Structure 1
Amino acid sequence: MKIIISKQNRIVAGSQSWASIRKLHRHLLSTNNAGLDRIFSGKEIVKATNNFSKSNLLGFGGFGEVFKGDLDDGTTVAVKRAKLGNEKSIYQIVNEVQILCQVSHKNLVKLLGCCIELDMPILVYEYVPNGTLHEHVYSNGTYEPLPWRRRLMIAHQTAQGLAYLHSSASPPIYHRDVKLSNILLDENLDVKVADFGLSRLGVSDVSHVTTCAQGTLGYLDPEYYLNFQLTDKSDVYSFGVVLFELLTCKKAIDFNRDEEDVNLVVFLRKALREGRLEEMIDPVMLKGATEVEMESMKELGVLAERCVKETRQSRPTMKAAAKEIESILNGLLLLRRE
């Protein structure tokens, strides 16, 4: 495999030695080609994370670990460390730098800087203290259940962040891994969309075409299996799955369901066709729900179903989805004021 930098200063994967990839990463960040605000020293990062202690571990995935860090100036940060010896991990870290340095939106996590002195690439982000949406929806008592209006607000803010990537960034950016665990919540339960390791710029070349699986099972655009491309409408599909999860508190993939119902989209499409959506809604939200609130839940269910249409042309844009959720939310807020 070889890694090259295109005219747009993007990274394109090929085959190269581990040492060469590390050298490329160091060159990009040490020359600050990415336009980062700050380059942290290795000493700062080790001290902030207590030498990456397990007690500071916030989470981990296939390509790295995230630790809580406390800087000397009192700022709390999130520190992402690439996986030792994993070439894809380095590629994703550098890709995330390239993406996040081009965007700024209140519902996207902010990249503060990086560190190039340690054995593995380090990214430093703003700290988002209230965990992931996945942890809230499937908390098993760890968090209080999210009320319906808050779920709608979370859906709207997520849609706004993604719509910004698709419609306001130039060139457009496709997230390509929208899911509950990549939606962070701050101290006010406001959204910060995170994890841009799989993201790509929406330009007309072959860099976004791959025969390797991208995204997450249950959220992945079914058209990906036809042409191996993920687009803005792929994000819309994934967002539709998020909406279904917010409505039902049922997981995108659950092997405890009947075989034909393992995939949540398939399961809920059938329920919608048979007029049984109300049966699928999270019982916590149904308890004490007004008629208007029930209607708004059904409206969001219909929007979610449009977002997960099998053909991309049949799905709304993220901008249109955001406006529709805003309309549903405004209807509830108006009722509340009355």
Structure 2
Amino acid sequence: METKPELLHFLVALLLCAGFAMSLTSCPDCGNTTVPYPLSTASGCGDPSYKIRCSSGSLIFDTLNNSYPVESINPQSQRLVIRPASLISNTCITTDKIHQGIQLNNTLPFNITSGNTIMYLNCTNTLLQSPLNCSSTSLCHTYINGTGDATSCKDTALCCTFKAGGSSNSYQIRVRDVGCSAYSSFVNLDPAWPVNRWPEPGLEIQWVSPREPICGSQADCDGGNSTCGSYPSSNGIRRCFCNSGLVWDPINGTCAEEITCQNPGGCGSSTDHTALIAGLTCGLAAALVVSAIALLLYKRHKRIKEAQARLVREREEILNASGGGRAAKLFSGKELKNATNDFSRDSLLGAGGYGEVYKGILRDGTVIAVKCAKLGNAKGTDQILNEKAIDFNRAADDVNLAVYVQRMVEEERLMDVIDPVLSNGANTVELETMKALAFLALGCLEERRQNRPSMKEVAEEIAYIISIATAKD
């Protein structure tokens, strides 16, 4: 039988389309909602690290111990919005309080963005020690007084507002008895809007750009566009790396053509070097800025070292001034931690107005008493030195300062780590501003890059903090 050319062309086109469709790994639609790459609703599509669920035609996002409906997905910005828990009828308690609110798994590639404005409802007085805005003029009061959704919260205790994202809010919106019993969240909320123009409650979550798909053999890859292989630093994991001239597109999950020309008029013999000059200028400016920052950090580090050395000398002189000919010994923080079993509560002998006293045993068996001045209490330190006891600064060089500050934040004792020179005599607005800036700085110390706020977000947050402080003044 003779095959007509038109039919042959149609069959070839159909085969090409089929091959292209097979190379895509996006999951099928869930009801009327498109599931973009890398989100995965089944084992055979998407990236298994980006798992969500499709249940009865609706997408569900699972946290560590609860589930939330997915309201919308933006594949270009790699973000999705989930619907927060609602209030229990006639109470000011959210239905997910039994799960301590929204708790994301920090080993997965999802985290809460800074585009969320959180309203904490029905809070205890412990929140007054946080940098949250718990004043009577906070946006949270505007919310509970202007909507029927939270009328049951009008007569409750404190009501606070804050922007999520960064630091301790990258993976959780926590509700509990010692804190707040309810919350609500709004994405990209303009505080100038009246409540009747606010969007529906939602919590925005972003995902990290996925790597190339993992493969076991070349058959798992698109043969024409990618090759199954591994890099020396990949720990033996093989991936479908794009072939020469192609680059990995994490949004569409494909190998796309690498475009290096940025000139709309063509790249042949163009003599317009504006883009090149602009790029070089920006690069040089960035290098100068980085160099200046590095120099300032070096000088600051040098000053700190010199101050620490001077402090050690001064304390040695104080301790030796009346030592009866016997030289005093300065112990390191590590030695004192070992002697007191890391300052365990079992070693605590007592506490006073200037600090706590612990029983310790040195490596040679000598029993000692270790008196710790409260952080920032200069009088306590002087008293300890005058008594010839052992001085211990819990923020010494051999202790990770970032970890220490993180612990103080979790224990809601942030003010304990702020320099007394700044906090003494500061008014309420100044203290709140210092707390807010400290929380922001802590977000920049996140270990995972995707959890740290961008420079734009830092600038916006600083501007937001300053605007609040200025308005209160």
Instruction: Name the TM-score class by shorter chain.
Output: under 0.3
TM-score by length of 2: 0.19
Q: Which protein has greater RCO, CA pairs closer than 8 Å, 6+ apart?
A: 1
Mark the structure with the bigger radius of gyration: 2
- More helix, by proportion: 1
- More strand, by proportion: 2
